[in-house]
Structure 1
Amino acid sequence: MITIWHNPRCSKSRQALTLLEQAGADVTVRRYLEDAPSAAEIEAVRDMLGLASLRGMLRSGEKTFRELGLTSDSPEPDLLTAMATHPILIERPIVVAGDRAVIGRPPEKVGDLLGPEAGRAGTAV
């Protein structure tokens, strides 16, 4: 099973979803702006991405980032709270398969999660 944190208004997110579907992957679409991930989920995905900091999955160019008074030096707990409260700050799309994840920028990166078993329903890849 593959889950995509998806924003249908984002062209990169739409392209990544299309690539997954064309590959025959069993995809669950999570519209993360409406179904915001918890702080624990964000931390778990950060770890799956292999990132040392949340900054690697943060959209610091968003207006909300500035409105909240966040900076590149903001403490990790502040970034985590902001991302959980304002999911627009989370980079998109994020695709999770089992215990691995990728940020789909460029969208072709989602191919890193597709293995020979990807098309089988319920198969963790």
Structure 2
Amino acid sequence: MEEQKEEVTNIKYLDTPLIKEQLTEIIQLLNIQPKELIRTNETIWKEKFKGKDMTDDELIKAMCEHPKLIERPIVIKNNKAIIGRPPEKVTEILK
């Protein structure tokens, strides 16, 4: 992104957690289900949530309460979003 001189906003949601409405909007921009945004290898997930049958709202609430569960980085541009893993995927949104 720096090489292409793209302006980006860095949302440090580990420092300032997202609220439900923000996270819901990001999930819609990503065009994924909430479960797809969860880092299932995180200890918090394994200890508190793994194996539970959770609704989308419950998953979003868990991510808001435990931002480490959110896959990162997320890049948003022109009402489109992408999870930047692997980093090469970010170029898809910059086109």
TM-score by length of 2: 0.89
Counting only pairs closer than 5 Å after superposition, residues 9-48 of structure 1 correspond to structure 2 as: 20-48=1-29
User: How many residues align structurally?
Assistant: 95
Query: Which is greater in Rg?
Result: 1
d(CA) in 1 for partners of 2:49 and 2:11?
28
How large is the Cα RMSD of the aligned pairs? 1.4
More strand by share: 1
Distance 1:37 1:81, change over 3 A: same
* Paired amino acid for 1:49: L
* Paired amino acid for 2:57: P
Long gaps (5+) in structure 2: none
Corresponding residue of 1:111? 91
TM-score by length of 1: 0.70
Runs of 4+ in 1 over 4 A off after TM superposition: none
Residue 99 (str. 1) matches residue 79 (str. 2):
yes
Select between 62-71 and 94-103 the one with higher mean Cα deviation. Answer: 62-71
- Superposition deviation, residue 72 in structure 1: 6.1
- Superposition deviation, residue 78 in structure 1: 1.4
d(CA) in 2 for partners of 1:58 and 1:101?
16
